[in-house]
Amino acid sequence: MTFLFLILLSQLTFATSSENENGFKELNDCVTQLNAQAEMMGKGVRHWASYFQFQMEPGLELIEGFEQTVAWSEKKRRSQDVKSLNPHLIGNAYIACLELQRELELQVKKLDRFLYSIILFGSFFILGLGFLLRMVFRKYLNRMAFIKQTNPEMNSDFKKRVLIWIAFSVLFNKSGVADLLNVYTYDALTGKSSFGEILKREFEKKTGSQLILTSLGSSGEALNQIVIEGSKSKADILLGVDSSFADRARATQLFSPVSVQYFFKLEPNLTLGKDRLFLPFDYGFLAFLYNRDKLHKKPSEFSGMTLSKFLESEQIRKKIVIEDPRTSSIGFSFLRWTQESFKSNEALKTVWEKFIPKLVTVAPSWSGAYGLFLKGEAEWVLSYTTSRAYHLEKEKKDQYEVLIFEDGHGLQIEAAAVLKHSKKKELINSFLELLVSEEIQKELPLTQWMYPARVGTLLPQSFKGIPIPKAISLSGELSERERKKLVNDWTRWASTSP
């Protein structure tokens, strides 16, 4: 709540200021303090963001975003062209800087406490283990001496018993390790009545093994954590990697292909690549939503609408809220959608420069953007077509409409990926089998508010009235270099837009 309050407060401050000079000063002061704070620890900000993985979406992209904004703001300040810079980007960058400062302090304190605990525990453990081994060794020597004196033939039998007991213990311990499956995922997939909890309950009931759901805030953070841990990661499965992070996950070479048998049960066009590294379990279509009662328009009035017409429309100005592609999965997917629709970089630049002035703000996350929309601070919000189903099902409200474009909508797919180093093949196969089973897939619509990936899964009534648009695939391979260039280009367009 405190973080959300700071975001709203900062946006208000920067948006209502007649000049952006104060925003530059506060932002540059914060960046200077942050760099000094990191350098005191012997490393730069980027190193510590990568090491600690801040609770943002994701930490490294956040830093890239605000570094770009700082660079462009400084350039504008020097050229005395302050007013043309988008004030919301300054606000987002300033809050990102404050959050990084706070998280850096917090994580350093946690690391200190952890190291002190390890040293203390290790000291006691070594002392205790030495004392225990001394006792055991003495008893063993006494026992062997007694056996040799009383019955030499029993000596051989005793050794056999010891060897059998050791072998049994090793097998038992290996079995115990194999009875636990570790899944890295994001917050929304865990918690009470979530899809993840349903999956966990059914998995443990069917296999008798334990399923550990490790939540890391966002799918991007979950992937980053696996990258940091590398081949020594505790994760066996990454659950929730989507179209915007699939290429980055592929580039790590930490994942192994999934058996083709699981794909036969899915919708034929759902794929995140021919290499079968990612098994889709749900999908949705990006879309703009509006409140029919406040906009006073009927869906028929938008007949023949295309993405290009909507983005360039002169009738829609300062009425839209979208998510920041540097910090939000859906925000980056929308940027990819526009890239796929307009192809050339020049056309993409032109349409974004026309679209940005129509924005109320660029929110850091989906929840932030949707919250502003529900409060009436924006007439349009970037979300999913299935957001309408939530309002129908949970609130019994039908005024939230989806604008359907004739030329198609961006298709976002969520998938599971198997870690290459994991030895728990049997449990992994059981998990994947359950994930795409009919009994689990039917739970997806009213927990994830997305479409189930399995062919023929029955949908609840609230989903049946929502149009299924033409799909625009966002899963085309994009290298890490190309992704960074796209985000940096967007930051430049947003910063220079009037």
> What DSSP assignment string belongs to 241-307?
EETTTHHHHHHHT-EEPPPGGGGGGB-TT--S-TT---EEEEEEEEEEEEEHHHHT--GGGGTT--H
Q: Token digits for 324?
A: 């920041």
Do 2 and 83 reside in the same domain of the chain? Answer: yes
Final residue before a domain boundary, out of 160, 178, 196: 178
Using CA atoms of 229, 233, 239, 240 in order, give the dihedral in degrees to the nearest 10.
0
Do 267 and 237 reside in the same domain of the chain? Answer: yes
Q: 33-42, 339-348, 375-384 — which is least confidently predicted?
A: 33-42
Q: Is the CA virtual torsion 267, 272, 278, 281 positive or negative? A: negative
Distance CA 236, CA 424 (A): 8
Do 226 and 334 reside in the same domain of the chain? Answer: no
Do 438 and 385 reside in the same domain of the chain? Answer: no
End-to-end alpha-carbon separation of the chain, Å? 32
* Confidence band, pLDDT 50/70/90 cuts, at residue 6: very low
Q: How many domains does the chain fold into?
A: 3
Q: Which residues contact 244 (CB under 8 A, 6 or more apart)?
A: 220, 329, 332, 333, 336, 412, 474
Q: Which residue shows structure tokens 């490294």?
A: 60
Q: What is the pLDDT of residues 194-243, one digit of tens each?
A: 899 999 999 999 999 999 999 887 777 888 899 998 888 999 999 998 88
* Of 290 and 95, more confident: 290
What value does the mean pLDDT of the chain take? 78
Q: What is the pLDDT of residues 392-408, one digit of tens each?
A: 999 999 999 999 999 99
Do 402 and 418 reside in the same domain of the chain? Answer: no
Range of the domain at 128: 1-178
* Of 37 and 19, more confident: 37
Q: Token digits for 89?
A: 């980007």
Do 290 and 359 reside in the same domain of the chain? Answer: yes
Q: Which residues contact 243 (CB under 8 A, 6 or more apart)?
A: 272, 333, 336, 411, 412, 413, 474, 475
CB 183 within 8 A of CB 237: yes
Which residue type does 130 have? G
The closest of 452, 469, 451, 440 to 387, measured between CA atoms, is 451
Q: What is the pLDDT of residues 117-155, one digit of tens each?
A: 778 777 777 877 777 777 766 666 566 555 555 555 545
Do 75 and 107 reside in the same domain of the chain? Answer: yes
Three-state DSSP state, 217 = coil
Please tell me the predicted confidence (pLDDT) of residue 174: 44
> How far does CA 205 lie from the centroid of its chain?
28
Question: Is residue 5 exposed (0-12), middle (13-18) or buried (19+ Cβ within 10 Å)?
Answer: exposed
Distance CA 335, CA 244 (A): 10
Final residue before a domain boundary, out of 153, 178, 203: 178
Do 184 and 228 reside in the same domain of the chain? Answer: yes
Q: CATH no. for residue 250?
A: 3.40.190.10
Q: What are the distances in angstroms from CA 343 to CA 323, 338, 340, 478, 493?
A: 21, 8, 5, 14, 16
Q: Is the pLDDT of residue 40 over 60?
A: yes
Q: What is the pLDDT of residues 351-392, one digit of tens each?
A: 998 899 899 999 988 888 999 999 999 999 999 999 999 999
Do 171 and 209 reside in the same domain of the chain? Answer: no
Q: Is the pLDDT of residue 171 over 60?
A: no
Q: Token digits for 182?
A: 């570790």
Do 164 and 215 reside in the same domain of the chain? Answer: no
Final residue before a domain boundary, out of 178, 205, 224: 178
Do 270 and 208 reside in the same domain of the chain? Answer: yes
* Confidence band, pLDDT 50/70/90 cuts, at residue 8: very low
Do 279 and 328 reside in the same domain of the chain? Answer: no
Q: Which residue shows structure tokens 């004196």?
A: 149
Percent of the chain residues topping a pLDDT of 90: 38
Q: Is the pLDDT of residue 92 over 90?
A: no
